[in-house]
Amino acid sequence: MERFGPAPAPDATGIPADRAARRPFAVELRRSRQVLVVPADRTILDVVRDAVPGVPYSCEEGYCGSCETRVLAGIPEHHDTVLSEDERRTGRTMMICVGRARSSRLVLDL
Ligand code: FES
């Protein structure tokens, strides 16, 4: 299956609107035993790629499902078009290329 959609429109500063109101949070990679900070201007995937080589991804826009990652603790904020409403509610997985955190810390199965 292929999914297509427009990229988020930039705001007056040139930053995509979906990134403008972001705040930093911590991500614990349980298997790698690392705790990383995801700054407001970077994605979880960006930060994780720096620390863990070989993390799968493709579209980086939340529609292919390649980066789906199990969430062990914390509350994910979903911005993908892959998960169903039920899957979003359970918060067991997330697309780390676009997802953020509603809690101050997420624990991921990476
Ligand atoms: S890389 Fe495609 S959904 Fe994350």
Measured between its terminal Cα atoms, the distance across the chain in Å is 26
Q: What is the pTM of this model?
A: 0.83
Mean confidence (pLDDT) of the chain: 88
81: Cβ below 6 Å to ligand 1?
A: no
57: Cβ below 6 Å to ligand 1?
A: yes
Query: What local confidence, expressed as pLDDT, does residue 22 receive?
Result: 82
Closest CA to 42 of 108, 96, 110: 96
User: Domains in the chain and their CATH numbers?
Assistant: 18-108 (3.10.20.30)
Residue 82 CA: nearest ligand 1 atom is: 3
Count of alpha carbons within 13 angstroms of residue 90, beta-carbon side: 10
Pair 69, 93: CB distance under 8 Å = yes
Pair 19, 98: CB distance under 8 Å = no
97: Cβ below 6 Å to ligand 1?
A: yes
Query: What local confidence, expressed as pLDDT, does residue 86 receive?
Result: 96
Query: Each residue of 34-74: pLDDT tens digit?
Result: 999 999 999 999 999 999 989 999 999 999 999 999 999 99
